[in-house]
């Protein structure tokens, strides 16, 4: 796995911790992760500015209640996908995926500035929905599915430092194609 940084709150625009927060050393981050008492976020830091600010391709946030959100960034720093994992019987289930489309990939955009949003909702029983909203069009397209093979949407909570299973933007992506609409 590539170089990572640990933090509790950071700004995607400045790529620094929020005021009052600092980068967390790995031993403290491990303690927070293993005890589960606080929110902690892991940032991909394979690429950095000369001053050390990361240009993350992804970040993974671990909430104290067991929920996990992985966010994927384009080169400009805009979120192009986020995936939410819910805890179920000691494992994580990829329950929501949000895909964002922007006017271009050269400028930083906030999620609410996207031109298109596609949301996928999955349940462990193989049911779910896909919702697409184009900001230039009226209305929203909504499709529901049943009998999807969701076996690929399950992942074990990783050992500290083993982030690759959650840092895979394509994890479980094929599940809706197997579904009956």
Read off the DSSP letter of residue 12. T
CB distance 85 to 65 below 8 Å: no
Average pLDDT score over residue span 59-69: 95
Whole-number pLDDT of residue 139:
75
Q: Encoding tokens for residue 78? A: 């805009």
Residue 174, pLDDT above cutoff 80:
no
Whole-number pLDDT of residue 173:
62
Q: Encoding tokens for residue 6? A: 């640990």
Residue 175, pLDDT above cutoff 70:
no
Q: Which residue has the higher pLDDT, 174 or 45?
A: 45
Sign of CA dihedral 113, 173, 69, 43: negative
Residue 180, pLDDT above cutoff 70:
no
Residue 172, pLDDT above cutoff 70:
no
CB distance 155 to 87 below 8 Å: no
Whole-number pLDDT of residue 66:
93
Percent of the chain scoring above 90 in pLDDT:
76
> Residue 61 belongs to what H/E stretch?
strand 58-62
Residue 110, pLDDT above cutoff 90:
yes
CB distance 49 to 175 below 8 Å: no
Name the pTM for this structure: 0.90
Residue boundaries of the structural domains of the chain? 4-98+151-178
pLDDT tens-place string over residues 3-22:
999 999 999 888 899 999 99
pLDDT tens-place string over residues 20-44:
999 999 999 999 999 977 899 999 9
Residue carrying the six token digits 């083993």: 162
């Amino acid at each position: 796995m590539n170089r990572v940084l640990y933090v509790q709150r950071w700004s995607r625009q400045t790529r620094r911790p929020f005021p009052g927060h600092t980068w967390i050393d790995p031993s403290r981050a491990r303690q927070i992760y293993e005890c589960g008492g606080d929110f902690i976020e892991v940032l991909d830091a394979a690429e950095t500015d000369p001053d050390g600010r990361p240009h993350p391709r992804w970040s993974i946030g671990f909430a104290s209640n067991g929920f996990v959100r992985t966010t994927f960034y384009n080169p400009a720093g805009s979120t192009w996908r986020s995936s939410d994992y819910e805890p179920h019987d000691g494992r994580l289930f990829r329950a929501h995926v949000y895909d964002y489309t922007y006017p271009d990939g050269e400028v930083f955009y906030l999620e609410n500035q996207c031109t298109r949003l596609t949301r996928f909702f999955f349940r462990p029983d193989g049911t779910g929905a896909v919702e697409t909203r184009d900001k230039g069009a009226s209305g929203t397209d909504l499709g529901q599915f049943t009998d999807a093979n969701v076996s690929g949407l399950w992942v074990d909570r990783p050992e500290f430092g083993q982030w690759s299973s959650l840092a895979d933007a394509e994890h479980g992506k094929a599940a809706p194609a197997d579904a009956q609409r």
